[in-house]
Structure 1
Amino acid sequence: MHLTHDPGTPAAEPISFDEFLKVDIRVGTILSAEPDPEARKPSYKLLIDFGPGVGTKKSSAQITENHALADLPGRQVAAVVNFPPRQIGKFMSEVLTLGFADATGAVTLFAPDRPVPNGSRLF
Structure 2
Amino acid sequence: MRRLILVSVFGAGDTSDKASGFGRLIYKTALSKFLKDKAAADQILQRSGLDWTIVYPVNLKAAPALPQGASTKNLSEVAKVPGLPTLPLDNAAAAILDVVTDPGTIGQRLLITTPTGFKLAA
Task: Judging by fraction of residues, say which structure has more helix.
Answer: 2
TM-score in terms of structure 2 length: 0.25
TM-score in terms of structure 1 length: 0.25
Whose RCO is larger (CA < 8 A, sep 6+)?
2
Task: Judging by fraction of residues, say which structure has more strand.
Answer: 1
